Structure 1
Amino acid sequence: MTQPTAFTLAVHGGAGTILRSSMSPEREAAYHAGLRRALEAGRLVLAAGGAALDAVTAAVMELEDEPLFNAGRGAVYTSAGQQEMDAAIMDGRNHAAGAVAGICGPRNPILAARAVMEQSEHVLLIGDSALAFCQAQGIAMEDAAYFFTQARWQALQETLAMRRSGTQDQDESRKHGTVGAVARDRHGHLAAATSTGGMTAKAPGRVGDSPVIGAGTWADDATCAVSATGHGEIFIRYAAAHEIASRLRHAGQSLDVAAHAVVVDLLAPQGGSGGVIAVDKDGNFALPFNCAGMYRGVVTADGVLRTAIYDEPLEDYGQV
């Protein structure tokens, strides 16, 4: 049993990683560094006795600010050459939740989702109305130039060229990328947060699982908190995040067994490439994925930051 003073934070920077054969040592180090910054941002909150909700917010903001990841500043482009971002957050204490979809403007979309949860009577706001709400709440906004990255623009051009030639895109890093965080705080409360730019060259207006409560994001103090990354349509159809929690609640499965069963046995056969990060009410964590890799990391009360990208064990970067 986890001690009352313990906490757990897990983060992900998306499944569908760059192929190992194409990953340079410098780029791999940059991904690990980005994950560690997110872990440290959330760890500082939890180590001070702060709430899981604040920890996942802080961690996801760090990932949104890092252009390497497909969220916030690193968001991919739609087939029309625009960026449309989605985000969600959920509080395991009372099932409070907030989400936004199809927006570009808020510097940190996760703050927009949290504002919906805390400053409105709604759960999900989309498009122009969501932007108007964000502006009314004083959320920091940026213009399109802030979110532009040459790598994402080039990925769009390559994907569109493949479509025109009828070539199948085998690059998972273009098909799905997301960031997320889940946490259990010292008080035993859980929270989850997820943010994404979606799929490269997605149809304008397409919304994936990230802002759909129960699909890509879920938190319930009685069971677990989950943030997903992958083929959103499949994750929505199988209510992936909620399915994991349901297996804990109704089947008495452990977190590791439930998360693996959903990701590997349920989603993968249906084409649901991707993975999840999850933490349960006792602070146990699970990080299963069914594709080439998933940018991921964990920190607990021992202060050791551990990250991984492919199928290797979490790499220990020592205490901070």
Structure 2
Amino acid sequence: MKTAYTAKQNPGLKTPAARSSAKLKLAWLLIIPVLLIRGFTTLYPSLVTLYNSFFEINMFKGGQHTFVGLDNFIQVFRDDKVITSLKFTVTFTVVSMVLHIILGILMALMLNLNFKGKKFLRTITLIPWAMPMIVTGIAAKWAFNDSYGLVNDLIRRVFPGFHFDWLIHSASAQAAVIAVDLWKDVPFFAILLLAGLQFIPEELYESARMDGAGTVKSFFKITLPLLLPTLLTLCIFFTLWRIVSYDIVYAMTSGGPGDSTSLLAYRIAIEAFTNLNIGYGSAIAVCLFVLMMVFSSLNLLAIKRSEQ
């Protein structure tokens, strides 16, 4: 009653409920522009892509739409080029992420040691990550050339007469693409893990040493369990980046030899913008979205289990 009386006598005063409502309205007012932008740049294109996947779109007749139902999706699973791209996308993602984890942890542990010049080393470690992928891909294409490439030049210093064109053989081209991806992104992955290592109290390692635990045991009993939430969270983002990779293949191999290094994102671009098969390219994009959801769900499941 006192609050109500005060509010009547002083119209400028607001009750706690009114102030809370005003703050909520202000929050929504500030968030709505962001939601509109995200909806326009993310939700709308996604819905249009899903819609187009059910049509055959003839760009030579002004974008004429012909409803074909699930025919585009059926064609996806019958297209040998798409199946090849899907296989390499899965291989590229899984192998790259496994090596990201192993090499990233090793590099993070090394950068976490106390030695002179560690700040300088941490800084230059990020140079590969800072380079645009399109530039890295073009440089890698030259580096793996048999005649004048850096890779074969270094090998020939040990084995004179060595000749091998890495990018004209399927297996070696796939390995080269994965190696370049690792060279570029593992340093950034390691720096992020290094940030996680900084939050592990040194007292835990001192207690472990007093109990007779060695370096290896301390790593598996202290470092890895405490680093696991950070590691799994990073895996979600890095996995999604691997799945939608396009520029490395575009610059380095153009999907060749044949279609052996063609990732799904690259196949979508070829179908939609080179072959002007918008409906079919949209169907492949929907399948890629489902693949991303599967990998994301597996990562989230791993995070949930690690917290139990």
Same fold (TM over 0.5): no
Greater per-residue helix proportion:
2
TM tier, smaller: under 0.3
Greater per-residue strand proportion:
1
Structure number, greater radius of gyration: 2
